[in-house]
Amino acid sequence: MWRALAKIIMKIGGWKVVYPVPKESDRCVMIAAPHTTNWDGFWVLVALLVLDIPFKVAVKDTWTNAPLIGNFMKNRGFLGINRSRKKEGEPRKSQTEQMADFFKTNEKIAMVIAPEGTRRLRPEWKMGFYHIAKMANVPITYGFLDYAKKEAGVGGVVYPTDDVAADMKEILTFYENITPKYPEQFSLDQRYT
């Protein structure tokens, strides 16, 4: 039912999904870029439903533990992580470790992460997505929204190595030709371009 509804929404919005989808999309860390508007989150989720990708999105655990909305959030693919400030002496995993642990309990999972971490211009990406993939021993896939073409899809795959610069160069080469909603708010990671 959700997939059929997502197809209708994509059609009404004038968007189309791009095939093929890499087989690695069933178990990966998926980059969601560019991210320059709140609409990106909406269109990414709709596209992932159409593409039938088993996506998960990390949110504050207060959302997934909430009495009324918690179960709905979990059933829609949202996983709660503890983002509160760590208390001194408290044994608690980092957010990156918590997200990597989701791969231990989910056979099929595309952990969707916006590496820019904000909708504002950011010249350096946050590298959590890369570290999660390394910890979980899974590939990184390139989820995208191209507003010029009104296309959404998964454009490629990289298996993280010990050469972060080479891996990032490969990732960023793909995103060079993707048009965000607000181009002035998007930057490739300047450390690797």
Residue 76 CA to residue 135 CA, distance in Å, equals: 25
pLDDT value of residue 34: 92
Two structure tokens written together for 84 = 């509160």
Residue for token pair 């593409």: 51
Q: Which residue has the higher pLDDT, 177 or 119?
A: 177
Phi/psi of residue 191, each to 5°?
Answer: -70, -25
Summarize the confidence of residues 89-95 as an average pLDDT: 78
Domain edges within the chain: 2-185
Beta-sheet pairing, 109-113 with 27-33: parallel
Beta-sheet pairing, 151-158 with 140-146: antiparallel
The 10s digit of each residue's pLDDT in 23-56 is: 999 999 999 999 899 899 889 999 999 999 998 8
End-to-end CA distance of the chain: 42
